[in-house]
Amino acid sequence: MAADQIILHNRFCEITFDRKTGRWSARDRIADAWAFRDAQFRVDKFPGQNWREPETVITCRKQGCQSVFGKGTELEITFAPKEGYDPTRILKIRLYNKRPFVEIGWGIWNRFGYPIRISKVDVVYGGELFSGQSVRQPRVLRSGAGAEPNMVEKGWQIEADNGAMLTYLNRGSRRTMVAGGLAYGEFGRTVEWRDGERGAGKRVRNEGFRNMILSFTDPQGRIVQAGETYFSPDTAYLDFVTRDPFDALDAYGQALRDANNANPNVYDFPTLCGWMVSTQNLGEGKPINNSPGLVEQTALARDRGLMKYTPLAVRLEPDTYCYNNFGDTQQGWWDDAHWSAYGPGDGQARGEGVGSLRKPYETFEKFCKAVADLGGIPFTYFQSSMPSNDFAVAHPDWMLNKDISRLHYPHAHHRPFVRYDYTHPRFRAHCLAVWQRLRKAGMKGIKFDYPETAWARYGGFADTRFTTTSAYREMFRLCREGLGKEAFIHERNLGGTTHEDAPRLDATAGIVDIQRVWGDASHFEPEMASRMGLRWYKSRRVFLYYPDGKSFYMDGKPIEAYKRRTFLTIMGFLSGRLEIGTSIGSMTDEMFYDVTRLFPMLGGTQSPRPVDMLTGGAHPSVYVYKVTASCLQVMLINNMKTARLVAAPLSGDQAATGSLGAEPDSRYHAFDFWSQAYLGVLKGTDRLSMKLRGGEASMISLRKVEDHPQVISTNRHIMQGMLECHGVKWSPKAGTLIGNVDVVGGEDFVMTVACNGWEPQSCEGAVIRKRTGSRGLVDLVFTSDVNARMPFDLMFGV
């Protein structure tokens, strides 16, 4: 080791810092391969504007560290300029004893007598990629947020917000790198792999110099006061050791969850959107977006028996826009008087009455109580930073820059010139009081519409300690504090539609439960699924994702059953949230039945892997959820408009073949849920295939064939036994299969059992029904007048 080099390592990776050049390198110790070499650490340096580098004193210190990731070692490197106007910058590189990733943090000491503002920190800049390697079949995937498109892209170059994954073959051996944000507080993250610059202090284009940049960015930046030492609460993640891209991204998602203490609430109920139903183009033009209308819908849901399966959430959207009353709306006031005075926005059927809150439910307390008494869950809606003009006049100091001088400017509703200052102490107190009042009234969930309006790129904050990112987070944080940890918080993160070009970020991790991935749309199309599915590693761990509400009708006619079941399957399997734009009274019995197959909603921290993302088309068509080592749930989807065969190998290298992850030397029962059809026994070396109509999806259980009878499916839930069957086990001595099932009163619960060479004799708790055309299978039929967890004891003879 050279005298100028400092080495930090664990059993996975090695960091080398050169005190002479001030650059650092990272190496995979397991594969003995460089991740990058000679990266710089820079603060507020911008392309084409680099000045002479000042003479700098570099000091290094190693010390133990501990966090949610366990114990490890930190290398702290301080760069202290002896001249010029650069602040002293501090780089923190952490390796944990039992983790294969690197955590990177940073800090600033303001050595001057005046405040400085930090807006861009490159913790990895110009690090040379692929040193000594060949790069074959490279693919990249951006870590999308909100409505940002994210698809696997060919090649190795990418520029992405939040993070990204790069995978490729190096002389036949797979290598993968995942880089991105970890802990979030005051900055966003960007990742770039590119042909780019070489050298310090001068700009040299070299198309052969492949390098990476990992940055912390904020348009407004963080003020560091004179003499202050500031350590950012934000950190970055870098894993270049985990080879399998699926494993690497799953590990990243879990780390992102842990770093931000994220625990998104499960939307274990459908949500009826009052706004969507009330529109003609997306819903029915039925005037239910008011308190009496949604109470009535909740009563209908109860009367039709929905509450036997799941509650119904109803969302009242008081969404008056600026156009018809000179900019005066409910927004900012957020009280019953204004919600009663202003009604549904343009494009909706309004019915009788004026406001969103109407008698006899003219307060949110009365509305929430009425909904809850019927077994429902009350939700509502806020426009993030679109203040009513009269509210801005009443509280000019609560606006950005304390400026309402452009209040008279005509503007699109989502592009106001006057917006809230979420850093102002009194406005924050006002917001918190609103949320606490709504919590006391019984409100359970909030949709933040147009959150991009709260992205204050140019600052104007009363509290100058805030960055644009932290001020944006503050809007949601206040809601979480006021409504409580059980509340459902929804970020309609479409981004980019204001004059301030808001990005779509993961910055609300640990605060928000769900992000929307699409604009207003009651239909379904393939990219909706891939925007959610290609974030499987964050889905349910950090956020839920969903593509807006969906209607069971199109142009006044019911959509075909297979199309309805397709989007329902995707919502239940990939999304974890179903929002509907069809009123309860307009749903047929078949629609109602299909909806109930999703509940209880799949929760936990695992989501289905899009296993053909590297081998298939633009949108994955094969998703796999590993229930147990011997039990897989598979969704096949035909993303084309015409019928075709969709297939996947059961076993093999998942990244190379798009396999389902089964064992090659085992056999598997295959059963299709929606058709309740047995597909036979497949060898582990076979391919699972189905011919699907254009836009059709199927849900299939794969159960490893045992040497005794086993459950292979039910008719109750799309997860086919995972959530509705309990304690199922085989007793070899007694020759019995026993367990419990959750039966809904008034509906036959059917559980399909593969006998595997055994002969069923009798069953306590259910009726045995042989399946026509399926040798070796029987159905157990359970009935009950009320909801019950019913035991069964199925006895066999050889």
Please state, in angstroms and rounded to a whole number, the distance separating the CA atoms of residues 534 and 574: 10
Question: Are 531 and 518 a contacting pair, CB within 8 Å?
Answer: yes
Question: Are 241 and 112 a contacting pair, CB within 8 Å?
Answer: no
Mean pLDDT value across residues 511-527: 95
Tell me, what's the pLDDT at 201?
41
Question: Are 296 and 376 a contacting pair, CB within 8 Å?
Answer: no
Q: Has residue 480 got a pLDDT over 90?
A: yes
Please state, in angstroms and rounded to a whole number, the distance separating the CA atoms of residues 415 and 401: 17
User: How crowded is residue 694: how many other Cβ atoms within 10 Å of its Cβ?
Assistant: 13
Q: Has residue 202 got a pLDDT over 50?
A: no
User: How crowded is residue 625: how many other Cβ atoms within 10 Å of its Cβ?
Assistant: 21
The one-letter code for the residue type at 604 is: G
Tell me, what's the pLDDT at 350?
64
Paired with 121 in beta bridges are: 43, 216
Tell me, what's the pLDDT at 351?
66
Tell me, what's the pLDDT at 464?
96
The one-letter code for the residue type at 28 is: D
Question: Are 462 and 420 a contacting pair, CB within 8 Å?
Answer: no
Give 496-501's long-range contacts (Cβ < 8 A, gap of 24+).
Answer: 496/452, 497/414, 497/415, 497/450, 497/452, 498/414, 498/415, 498/452, 498/453, 498/455, 499/415, 500/452, 500/455, 500/456, 500/457, 500/458, 501/457
User: How crowded is residue 203: how many other Cβ atoms within 10 Å of its Cβ?
Assistant: 12
Which candidate, 623, 625, 572, 624, places its Cα nearest to that of 594? 572
Phi-psi region of 509 (alpha: psi -120 to 50; beta: other; left: phi over 0): beta
User: How crowded is residue 181: how many other Cβ atoms within 10 Å of its Cβ?
Assistant: 29
How confident is residue 725, by pLDDT bands cut at 50, 70 and 90? Answer: very high
Q: Kindly give the pairing relationship between strand 445-449 and strand 488-491.
A: parallel
DSSP annotation of 237? E
Distance from the first to the final alpha carbon of the chain: 70
The token pair at 184 is 């979030």
How confident is residue 208, by pLDDT bands cut at 50, 70 and 90? Answer: low
Share of the chain above pLDDT 70, in %: 97
Which candidate, 302, 300, 329, places its Cα nearest to that of 317? 329
Of 309-318, 520-529, 721-730, which gets the smallest average pLDDT? 520-529
The token pair at 719 is 């997860």
- Taking only the tens place, the pLDDT of each residue in 89-142 is 999 999 999 999 999 999 999 999 999 999 999 999 999 999 999 999 999 999
Tell me, what's the pLDDT at 4?
87
Q: Kindly give the pairing relationship between strand 5-9 and strand 631-637.
A: unpaired
Please state, in angstroms and rounded to a whole number, the distance separating the CA atoms of residues 364 and 358: 10
How confident is residue 798, by pLDDT bands cut at 50, 70 and 90? Answer: low
User: How crowded is residue 405: how many other Cβ atoms within 10 Å of its Cβ?
Assistant: 11
Phi-psi region of 48 (alpha: psi -120 to 50; beta: other; left: phi over 0): left
Tell me the CA distances in angstroms from 198 to 158, 214, 299, one per residue in order. 18, 16, 67
Please state, in angstroms and rounded to a whole number, the distance separating the CA atoms of residues 208 and 198: 10
Tell me, what's the pLDDT at 209?
86
Q: Has residue 50 got a pLDDT over 90?
A: no
- Taking only the tens place, the pLDDT of each residue in 428-459 is 999 999 999 999 999 999 999 999 999 999 99
Tell me, what's the pLDDT at 344?
78
The one-letter code for the residue type at 592 is: F
Measured in whole angstroms, the distance separating CA 390 from the mean position of its chain's CA atoms is 37
Please state, in angstroms and rounded to a whole number, the distance separating the CA atoms of residues 5 and 22: 10
How confident is residue 203, by pLDDT bands cut at 50, 70 and 90? Answer: very low
Q: Kindly give the pairing relationship between strand 153-154 and strand 158-161.
A: unpaired
In this prediction the pTM is: 0.96
- Taking only the tens place, the pLDDT of each residue in 327-356 is 999 999 999 999 999 987 766 666 666 799
- Taking only the tens place, the pLDDT of each residue in 322-332 is 998 999 999 99
Q: Kindly give the pairing relationship between strand 270-273 and strand 313-315.
A: parallel
Mean pLDDT value across residues 227-253: 98
Which candidate, 361, 341, 528, places its Cα nearest to that of 442? 361
Which candidate, 215, 221, 222, places its Cα nearest to that of 47? 215
Place of tokens 């779509």: 504
Q: What is the mean pLDDT of the chain?
A: 95
Please state, in angstroms and rounded to a whole number, the distance separating the CA atoms of residues 77 and 545: 39
Ordered DSSP codes for 378-394: EEEEEETT---HHHHHH
Paired with 677 in beta bridges are: 672
Tell me the CA distances in angstroms from 539 to 45, 94, 356, 543, 609, one per residue in order. 34, 26, 33, 5, 10
Place of tokens 């207003």: 520
Which candidate, 625, 791, 795, places its Cα nearest to that of 701? 625
Q: Has residue 305 got a pLDDT over 50?
A: yes
Tell me the CA distances in angstroms from 560 to 129, 167, 521, 581, 639, one per residue in order. 51, 40, 18, 16, 16
The one-letter code for the residue type at 185 is: G
- Taking only the tens place, the pLDDT of each residue in 526-581 is 999 999 999 999 999 999 999 999 999 999 999 999 999 999 999 999 999 999 99
Q: Has residue 197 got a pLDDT over 80?
A: no
DSSP annotation of 615? T
Q: Has residue 207 got a pLDDT over 80?
A: no
